[in-house]
Structure 1
Amino acid sequence: MNSASDGLLRPSDGDALRAELRGLAALSKLPVVFGGEVHAGTLVLSEFVGTRTNGMRGLAVAPSSGLGGSAVATGKPRSVADYRSASTITHHYDAPVLGEGLRAVVAVPVVVKGEARAVIYVANRDSGVIGDRVADEMVQAGRRLATELAIRDEVDRRLRLSFARDAMASANTVVTEQLRDLHAELRGITQSVSDASARSRLRDVTEKLARLVSGVAAADDAVSLAPRELDVLAHVALGCTNLETAQRLSVGPETVKSYLRSAMTKLGAHNRHEAVVRARRLGLLP
């Protein structure tokens, strides 16, 4: 009925329509009950109870055309006591309708948020007004179906929001990991820069990057890590072993252990993971 019905988790709206039509057929006792969904304003007849021919199956009813098209356009029930001679509707579909032998017909739109999403019909092969009792039953069926579709729409809306949030979170995670890689790389490059001024500027950049990613406005002065301690911790945060960190920073593994141990002591951490978590909370690492 709309793009929401394309969702893999959404049940078939056609099944819901079919169930209402079968219930209506049992209640109304009329010989023919049928209906269809509205796609981009066009009603397509798809569900039938009591028909003898296939002439109306798959019939596309344009807005304002015929009885159903009028119901879609106005959003209100429409009826004729004798389809053949009715002057209140267009007669674009006389061949399939009269071929089925239908005379008295009532069409009720299923309206959700002001939009016709389906139309349900009852019909008699004799002319004459179809009574209020049947019309009331049709209106109730239409309301039940409208409520069901509205619930499905809301479920779809929430699922789409959830999927969008998950996708955004996943994208943010990827970006965050890339920024952490960049931070660690810059920390490594800084040590190879001989110019003291340039080295200081690079460290300032890495500190700003750490605060930006961690969301901490300013690093906590209560904990101050030496540049090499921060270099080691930045690589440890990426999951590097002591040996890998040593290779990246061009120092020995024992030196890495020493710096890491010192950083953990300053941070009050008992292990590598805890040290990284606390450093991020303090805005020292991204």
Structure 2
Amino acid sequence: METMTSPLAPRDALLATLRTLRRDTGASITFGAYATPGGARLDAFVGAHSHTLAGVLIEPAHGVGGKAMVDRRPVAATQYERSTAITHHYDREVSGEAIVSLLAVPAIVGDRVRAVLYVGERVATQFGGDIVRRTVSAAQNLAWEFTVAAEVERRVTELRQAAALSAAADAPSRERQEVREAAAELRELSRVVQDPELLARIDAIGRLLLPAPTELVAPRLSPREVDMITQLALGRRNSQIAEALGLTEATVKAYVSSAMHKLDASSRFEAVAAARRAGIVA
């Protein structure tokens, strides 16, 4: 049985992590929860046979997971019911899933535990180094999802505040430039975002701040400037462009700068986007 009972952000990241973890370790069950200062309420399960653990609040320092959150390191109990290293607040719920051995690993972002992952076995199991490493790696990947989601949220908030400014016809050029730069940075960040909901939000904010003009007059770029934008669209650096076109890097830099100025772009990414909107490059 596979369930997730609450839509906590980053959306579906926890459940996806648990699926991969169970596949990679061959565990009987994997489960977990996002953490708050008051604990972690179990709400994501892969391989569960019942609902006895669903909704259980794991408090700091209690059980395997609570100890992992407080100690900020992996904690395992080969014989859960007999372990003297943990408290036994959740014995009834754990036994309801017939779990004999349990491993818990916290996902830490900065100085805060953001989630806890569990690997459970229904026969006595000494968790070896490989399983621990895989679970730690899964927790680190989930922590990265949190980091990306937090950065997206921060930029989205900034861009929402700047949207009105961007739309104002009399907005100071410096401030309009800052809006364009922030939007371009957000687009760059989208390259490392895997969550589809976050990607959709990034795209929507980008369209809000940098809408396609209803009437677009293509900037008049020289043939060599078009060459530069075409090379930039391929993701090439100045040195690579220089080698491809038989020019010096200084000359390439000058052409790129001139093209960006004509396209009213503050970055290479923005220059390529503007050129594509104008039909200059495909």
TM-score (norm 2): 0.54
Residue 36 of structure 1: how far off its partner (Å): 1.0
Match in the other structure for 1:138:
135
Task: Specify the structure having the higher radius of gyration (Cα).
Answer: 1
Rounded Cα–Cα distance in structure 1 between residues aligned with 2:11 and 2:27: 21
Match in the other structure for 2:57:
60
Q: Does 1:101 align with 2:101?
A: no
Residue 66 of structure 1: how far off its partner (Å): 1.0
Rounded Cα–Cα distance in structure 2 between residues aligned with 1:32 and 1:82: 16
Taking only the aligned residue pairs, the percentage that are identical comes to 33
Q: Does 1:116 align with 2:113?
A: yes
Q: Does 1:158 align with 2:155?
A: yes
> 1:98 is matched by which residue type in structure 2?
S
Which runs of no fewer than 5 residues in structure 1 stay unpaired? 1-9, 174-286
- Whether the 8 Å CA contact 2:8–2:34 is kept in 1: the answer is no
Rounded Cα–Cα distance in structure 2 between residues aligned with 1:57 and 1:11: 15
Which runs of no fewer than 5 residues in structure 2 stay unpaired? 1-6, 171-282
Rounded Cα–Cα distance in structure 1 between residues aligned with 2:146 and 2:152: 10
> 2:16 is matched by which residue type in structure 1?
A
Match in the other structure for 1:183:
none
Residue 144 of structure 1: how far off its partner (Å): 0.9
Q: Does 1:22 align with 2:19?
A: yes
- Whether the 8 Å CA contact 2:10–2:149 is kept in 1: the answer is no
- Whether the 8 Å CA contact 1:108–1:142 is kept in 2: the answer is yes
- Whether the 8 Å CA contact 1:45–1:57 is kept in 2: the answer is yes
Residue 168 of structure 1: how far off its partner (Å): 7.4
- Whether the 8 Å CA contact 1:34–1:121 is kept in 2: the answer is yes
Q: Deviations over 1:8-53 (max 9, x none)?
A: xx98425001011101111101111111111334101111111111
Number of equivalenced pairs:
165
Q: Does 1:80 align with 2:77?
A: yes
- Whether the 8 Å CA contact 1:82–1:104 is kept in 2: the answer is yes
Greater percentage in helix: 1
TM-score (norm 1): 0.53
Q: CA distance change for structure 1 residues 11 and 79 in 2, over 3 Å: closer, same or farther?
A: closer
Match in the other structure for 2:33:
36
> 2:153 is matched by which residue type in structure 1?
D
- CA RMSD in angstroms comes to 2.5
Partner secondary structure for residue 67 of structure 1: helix
**Runs ≥4 in structure 1, deviation > 6 angstroms?**
168-171
- Whether the 8 Å CA contact 1:37–1:44 is kept in 2: the answer is yes
Rounded Cα–Cα distance in structure 1 between residues aligned with 2:74 and 2:26: 19
